Structure 1
Amino acid sequence: MGKRRLFAGLVSIGSLIGLVGLSSVPAVAAELPWDRLSGPTGVETSIAVANHAYSGDWPVVYVASNKNPVDALPAATIGDGPVVLTDGNTLNLGGKKPGKVVLLGGTGAVAQGIEGQAKALVGDGNVQRLAGADRNATAAAIAEQWVKVNGNPKVVYVTKNAGAGSPDAVVASVLRDGPILTFTSDASAAALKDVIAKLNPGQVIALGVTHITAIGGTGVLPDSNVKAAAGEAAG
């Protein structure tokens, strides 16, 4: 009887292990593969990101200053080519030869020497500069380029871009349904209504700019600034 009870106990334990012991151990997932898009400076990091986003040929590349890349923010929304930064001395495109080079900002942002290097690389007729009297005017020039590439926007994104730039514009740069316009003061915010009107001159609002989206809270972008910018767009 003792042997039979011992055998029955072993069978019961074996059955329990078979039912719950092994099946209750969770599978351990293998370590996920990972990589890093980076370089020793912002220039090389921008090239790594550009190659990740545009692995083939670059039909166009937008070049902005690495020292204060405020002009790079609105240009990223155009969507027909990557944005690469320059140190102001060398046009470093990581060995790529794009079809066209578009410089962002005046010569104080992207030096004349960079423009000369770009022309030597792709030809004079394939180099363009989008610039204005200040960063807001440059953003407006970039918005006009957005329209040339994508057609009239349905949405215009407005944000403050003072100092070293706008973190809100950085995260908004992935948007593709409209350009980003910027301001640095109440006066430049009020001036945006004329910029918005120029994006679709002489046409009804329904066919052009139909909506303005503010990026950031009221501490960054007060309602008064948004209303000033939207003033003529709704009229």
Structure 2
Amino acid sequence: MRLGILSVIVASALVAVSLWASPQTAHAATDRISGSDRYATSVAVSKLAFPNGTDTVYLVSGVNYPDALSAGPAAVASGAAMLLTAPTALPAVVAAELQRLAPERIIVVGGAATISNSVENVARGLAATVERQSGTDRYATSLAVVRAAFESASTVYVATGADYPDALAAGPAASSAHAPIVLVPGRANDLDSATRDLLVDLGATRAVIVGGAGVVSTGIESRLRTMLGTGSTTRLAGADRLATAIAINRASFATVPRGDAYVVTGFNYPDALSVGVLAGMRARPLYLSVPYCVTSQLRAQLTGATVSRVRLVGGVGAVRGMVGDLVGCLSITDPASPWVLVNKRTPLRPATYTPALADPGVASAWGDPVQKDAAWAVRSMFAAASAAGLGQLTLQSGYRSYASQSSIFNRDVAARGRAAAERLTARPGYSEHQTGFAIDISANGCMECIGGTAQGRWLAQNAWRYGFILRYESGQTHITGYDHEPWHFRYVGTTLAEDYREGGFRSLEAYLGRPAAPSY
């Protein structure tokens, strides 16, 4: 290619992901619970949890998390299933599951703005009793759900209602302790009177706060200690959402027998909402993960003495296969990492970065080196193409310095105009070629026509075997910001390249769960 493209950005929790070496160590068995979408995944979980049906089902929104966060432990306490629904229409797959479960009662959680009256009306045709549990806001709805499900509770889990990760991770822990999750406006300086009244009415003697002081304030913590007594209140928190989930599970499941551990993406909520009920019923931990790899801390938990099977929840779009393989995380911001993301929104840092380079030892138009760890892969791939009877491939372009990229970009702007040039060539400091991991390939003296050749088809089908992905595919300009370039391949390593292919991904942005970058 002639672009640049991969940098990083992993929101705060992802930024800290550390490098880890070999993913090939033996670990617990792995399987996946999933459906074609969040609603079908919800049904898949329900079938595992309630093979013989159930008397009660909680119906929660699949596109809005707050009202559903307290519903998971409430459902476990009530022996009930929990299914996700779209706001204005009951998905057919969910309706079929309700018919299979044959409940006597359906509880619709949240107001009509969250789950419409039309969904409630459909539910009335599927159960003898349908009731709605809601309040004036997410906090009042949480209190209504808890009051309806718990006549008493010695322990109460307290979580912010302004975000979902901590409450999701705490759901199975709370359920296994027969405790509710109560949502609070975490940044308030004090516990609100309605929540204080609930704790009194429940007879609570212990509170577990999930999340750090930045999400549930020290003022709320102080009020809980005053209400419940010295030693009554525990805070479970980590450096980020993934570490907080680990802290919750260590405190709750450290001594359980060997069994399942459920793993969901830590950066969306539907699948975790669904499986939280199953995990809570079975008193098993629910871990949050980076979508495409595992941190060293999470890997330590999943290879521990209490885990015999890792159950990924959701499709590969939510949790990649590498998570199940316990592949450790490499940086997507470090330009020396083969996973580095460089695109129009994430420039190289520093912009003038120079990699460790090596001569790949292949036919080359200009004698360009490539990043030293990728050199063997280029050589191996070109040799394999030759062995397959495809003749000689040529390295048209490899590493480019900041100065070289500036020259090429300015030349293309002069020749094509800025708009057209920026669909073909990266600005200096934004180019994958500056990492040394990107290569442009020509065959029979032609780079831009390679896509229609046998060599181009072979590369598209086989480059993954050598650690490369086709970086700019047809139809992905709205994500990558660049026109289709069948000649531009990017080295990411064989493990990621294989997972990328198996998952059917078409852009590195989508694989890494990062925003589209169509423009600077």
User: What CA distance in whole angstroms lies between the structure 2 residues aligned with 1:152 and 1:94?
Assistant: 37
What SS does the aligned partner of 2:231 have? helix
1:123 partner letter? G
Matches within 5 A, 1:103-142: 103-142=209-248
Letter in 2 for 1:125: G
Change (3 A) 1:229 1:214: farther
TM-score by length of 1: 0.73
Matched residue, 1:42: 138
Q: Distance in 1 between matches of 2:212 and 2:273?
A: 21
Q: State the shift of 1:139 in Å.
A: 0.3
**Gaps (5+ residues) in structure 1?**
1-28, 201-207, 231-235
The CA distance in 2 between the partners of 1:108 and 1:125, in whole Å, is 21
1:221 Cα deviation (Å)? 0.7
How do residues 72-91 of structure 1 correspond to structure 2 at under 5 angstroms? 72-78=167-173, 79=175, 80=177, 81-88=179-186, 89=188, 90-91=190-191
1:179-231: CA deviation from partner (whole Å, max 9, x where unpaired):
11111354544542112345x3xxxxxxx31111000001111111111169x
Separation in 1, partners of 2:205, 2:319: 38
| CA contact 1:102–1:130 (8 Å) conserved in 2 | yes
Choose from 84, 89, 95 the match for 2:198.
95
Q: CA deviation at 1:101?
A: 0.4
Which of 59, 66, 69 matches 2:161?
A: 66
- Is 1:172 aligned to residue 275 of structure 2? yes
Give the structure with higher Rg (CA): 1
Percent identity over the alignment is 30
Match of 2:261 among 132, 136, 156: 156
8 Å Cα contact 1:65-1:110 kept in structure 2: yes
- Give the Å deviation of 1:114: 0.6
Partner Cα separation in structure 1 for residue 141 and residue 181 of structure 2: 11
CA distance change for structure 1 residues 153 and 85 in 2, over 3 Å: closer, same or farther? Answer: farther
How many residue pairs match? The answer is: 189
Q: Which amino acid aligns with 2:141?
A: T
Task: Describe the shift of the 1:216–1:190 C-alpha distance in structure 2 as closer, same or farther (beyond 3 A).
Answer: farther
Q: 1:226 to 1:93 in 2, by over 3 A?
A: farther
AA matched with 1:39: G
AA in 1 matched with 2:273: V
Query: Alpha-carbon deviation of 1:52?
Result: 2.2
RMSD: 2.3
Q: Which runs of 4+ in 1 moved over 2 A?
A: 31-35, 93-97, 150-153, 184-191, 195-198
Match of 1:145 in 2: 251
Shift of 1:111: 0.6
Cα deviation code 1:9-62 (max 9, x no counterpart): xxxxxxxxxxxxxxxxxxxx9x9443221111111111111122212x211110
**Do the aligned partners of 2:158 and 2:182 also contact (CA within 8 Å) in 1?**
yes
Q: 1 CA distance for matches of 2:291 and 2:319?
A: 10
TM-score by length of 2: 0.34
